[in-house]
Copies of this chain bind each other. A is one copy, B any other.
Amino acid sequence: MRLTDIPTPAVLIESSRLERNLDRMQEAATARGLRLRPHAKTHKSPHIAAMQIERGAVGICCAKLGEAEVFAEAGVTDIRLPYPLHPVNAGRVFDLADRVRLSFIVDDPEIADAWSNAAQQTGRRLNVLVKVDVGFHRCGIDPVSNEAASVVQRIARLPGLEFRGLLSHAGHAYGATSEAEIAAIAATEAELLRDLSERSGVDCEEISVGATPTVRFSLEETGLTELRPGNYAYYDRTQVGLGAATFEDCALTVLARVVSHPARDRVIFDSGSKTLTTDGARGGHAGGYGAVLASPDETAPDLNLVIDRLSEEHATVRAMSGGTRLRTGDLVRIVPNHSCVVSNLVDHVWLVDGGRVVDKLPVAARGRIT
């Protein structure tokens, strides 16, 4: 089967780019003596998780129990959830902990107490890491607060819990406007974790960081043990803007077709927010909902074409100056702003090698929101 035979729109994964991205990240981590534990949210595919583990990944991360259950079923044996699980889910957590080496984060002494109690009642031990807020201001304890060290000490001592270390996510790097800013975020993250680890004086088997934009700088830091990037498997337009990748590294593209050409400077693609999402451009891009490769074998974006607006099933594309050579029926490929969320919209992705279709992979953990 040829790429041009695929019904559009469709999500394509360029096989050689995927493999190169996985190889490079593993090699970089191994060279620095760091454990790589990729976040599987990007691909949600047991097939690709297996490729990562084959290359040396120590396990994977998932965001939700539902995703972890899919990967456990597929044979992954070490799963970390960098997510503040609530004890209302204790039943599923214990079931999963019986099947795989499971760990998750806590950022609240009261919730940690509840987990400790639940674990003791069932006679088990749960692996936890303390989530540290290094500037993203989502979850996590404030590492510079007076009580930070005592919170870590308190959680580390709780019966029923096996304290594994500290974990952070520098998600604010996605808002950075320069390489220097990203480097500074990575340096501050490592420093905050090292300091908190020292101050608390408890044994941290793991000091874990992870975000694709910062990972290249985290590699240079001391005191870290684990990297958890996810997006690096596919990359996307945002990562190109943040300097973490080039367009030639982007393994995920959306194959789309021109279905209308109602004005000289306007064409309509059959890929709307149901394939691209409305996630905005980050990393300094001018705007729009993705970069357009104006034919299936093109590798550089046509910067004259801007995906101006998305409806659910239409992309309204404007030619910035003059017209466009695209004609109704033509195929294009789109590098989306954010590849992780694109995976979550489709039941399967097409693994391709140039113009040839290699495989159709189920996105087995798609839509596992609980």
Q: Footprint of B on A, CB under 8 Å?
A: 7-10, 41, 63-64, 83-89, 107-108, 110-111, 133, 137-142, 171, 257, 259-263, 266, 268, 270-271, 273-275, 277-280, 309, 311-314, 316, 328-329, 340-341, 344-347, 367, 369-370
10 chain-A/chain-B pairs, Cβ below 8 angstroms: A10-B369, A10-B370, A83-B259, A87-B329, A110-B328, A137-B262, A273-B277, A274-B344, A313-B369, A346-B369
Shortest Cβ distance from A313 into chain B, in angstroms?
A: 4
Most chain B CB inside 10 Å of its own CB: which residue of A86, A313, A316, A369: A369
Whether the Cβ atoms of A140 and B273 lie closer than 8 Å is: no
Contact B370 A63 (CB under 8 A): no
Residues on B with C-beta less than 8 A from A84 are 259-260, 268
A107-B262, A268-B139, A369-B346 known; A83 vs B313 contact (CB < 8 Å): yes
CB of A345 within 8 A of CB of B370, answer no
Contact (A257, B8) CB under 8 Å given A266-B137, A268-B138: no
Among residues of B, the one whose C-beta sits closest to the C-beta of A266 is: B137
B346 & A345 in contact (Cβ 8 Å cutoff):
no
Min C-beta distance of A314 to chain B, whole Å: 6
A278 contacts which chain B residues (CB < 8 A)? Answer: 277-280
B108 touches A261 (CB 8 A): yes
Looking at chain A's contact residues, the main secondary structure is loop
How near does chain B come to A147, taking the closest CB pair, in angstroms?
13
Each complex incorporates copies of this chain amounting to 2
Contact A88 B329 (CB under 8 A): yes
- A111 — which chain B residues lie within 8 A by C-beta? 328
- On chain B, the residues within 8 Å of A345 by CB distance are 344-345, 367, 369
Separation of A89 and B337 alpha carbons in the complex (Å): 28
Of B85, B133, B313, B328, which is within 8 A of A86 by CB?
A: B328
Note all chain B residues with C-beta closer than 8 A to A367.
274, 345-347
> Judging by beta carbons under 8 Å apart, are A311 and B171 in contact?
yes
Instruction: Determine the residue in chain B with the shortest Cβ distance to A88.
Output: B329
Chain B residues with CB under 8 A of A369: 9-10, 271, 274-275, 313, 345-346
A28 to B240, CA, bound (A): 51
Q: How far is the CA of A279 from the CA of B276 in the complex (A)?
A: 12
B residues within 8 A CB of A10?
Answer: 369-370
Residue pair A273, B262 in contact (C-beta under 8 Å): no
Which chain B residues border A266 with CB–CB below 8 Å? 137
